[in-house]
Amino acid sequence: MASNKGPAKLEAEIAELGDLPRGDLVERWTSLHGNAPPQRLTQDLLVRNIAYELQARELGGLNAVEKKSLAAFAAGRASLGPKNLPTGTRLYRSWQGVTHEVLVSEGSYSWKGQSYTSLSQVARAITGTRWSGPRFFGVTT
């Protein structure tokens, strides 16, 4: 579905969106989505959505699992879960007055320069007792 416009052309196309009148934005939305936008959608949100859609089509969007996880999260039904956390995510947890930061890596978690294979191992290192790591860091599903 990618059009291979190139980054410069995509950037220019997105930059022009802010100068378009509402009618043109509605037409653009309709051509991208196949239906008209909600009437009460602000012009700013029209621009943002169109820009996102252009980028997703050019560079790739969310996969089905990511969409489902985000929809559930937005509805308050679940969090992303530890197995679905993208590489580079930082988790923070305050424990006994100290804030701890954990970096999610490909297949591991880093805390204080050490690598762990599970969040539960990190939670145990922090607390000294057995914990559910996902629960400790608030990423349970």
Domain match, 13 and 56 both: yes
Q: What is the pLDDT of residue 81?
A: 60
Domain match, 87 and 42 both: no
Residue 73 domain flag:
no
Domain match, 42 and 86 both: no
Residue 129 domain flag:
yes
Domain match, 49 and 90 both: no
Phi, psi of 99 (to 5 degrees): -90, 125
Pairing between β-strand 98-105 and β-strand 114-116 as defined by DSSP bridges: unpaired
Q: Are 91 and 108 in contact (CB under 8 A)?
A: no
Domain match, 51 and 12 both: yes
Q: What is the pTM (predicted TM-score) of this model?
A: 0.51
Grade residue 1 by pLDDT with cuts at 50, 70 and 90. Answer: very low
For all residues of the chain together, what is the average pLDDT?
Answer: 86
Summarize pLDDT for 53-99 with one digit per residue, the tens. 999 888 887 777 667 767 777 777 655 566 668 888 888 988 888 89
Domain match, 15 and 48 both: yes
Closest by CA position to 46, among listed 60, 63, 27, 65: 27
* pLDDT surpasses 90 at 19: yes
Domain count across the chain: 2
Residue 30 domain flag:
yes
For the residues 103-107, what does the mean pLDDT come to? 87
Residue 76 domain flag:
no
Q: Are 85 and 139 in contact (CB under 8 A)?
A: yes
Domain carrying residue 117: 82-137
Domain match, 52 and 88 both: no
